[in-house]
């Protein structure tokens, strides 16, 4: 798999066990979703997708266009804080994680 290829991890019920998110990934997903939803003015437009890239799990956050600045923050401070939170929350999973804010 090269850098441009990515494999979306399914998040629904009834999927084969090897394709589901593990408990650590689910908790990180819930945490990121909770924080972002409480930062924005359009919480109904928040989506968080989970993508596997090489040896890393990437959480892709999408928000309403008007909320993009709130999630990124001044000088990227909020995005950096979210990444720090993500790293701390996933520390016990021994898995590399990342966060992308997608327009």
Q: How far apart are CA 14 and CA 47, in angstroms?
A: 21
Residue 14, pLDDT score: 29
8 band by pLDDT with thresholds 50, 70 and 90: very low
CA distances from 30 to 3, 21, 23, 96 (A): 26, 12, 11, 17
**What is the strand order of the sheet 56-62 is part of?**
7-8, 47-53, 56-62, 96-102
Domain parsing of the chain, residue ranges: 41-103
Mean pLDDT of 38-42: 97
* CATH class of segment(s) 41-103: alpha beta
Any alpha helices (H) in 8-103, and if so which ranges?
23-39, 68-72, 77-89
| Higher per-residue confidence, 17 vs 91 | 91
Q: Quick one: DSSP state of residue 93?
A: G
pLDDT of residue 5: 39
Per-residue pLDDT of 47-101, as tens digits, reads: 999 998 888 889 999 999 999 999 999 999 999 999 999 988 888 777 888 999 9
Tell me the pLDDT band of 1, cut-offs 50, 70 and 90: very low
């Amino acid at each position: 798999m090269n850098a441009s290829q990515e494999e979306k991890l399914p998040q629904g019920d009834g999927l084969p066990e090897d394709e589901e998110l593990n408990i650590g990934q689910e908790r990180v997903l819930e945490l990121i979703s909770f924080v972002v939803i409480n930062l924005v003015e359009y919480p109904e437009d928040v989506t968080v997708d989970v993508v596997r890239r090489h040896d890393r799990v990437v959480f892709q956050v999408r928000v309403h266009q008007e909320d993009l600045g709130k999630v990124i923050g001044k000088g990227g401070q909020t995005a950096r804080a979210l990444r720090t939170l993500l790293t701390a929350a996933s520390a016990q999973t021994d898995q590399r994680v990342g966060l992308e804010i997608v327009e």
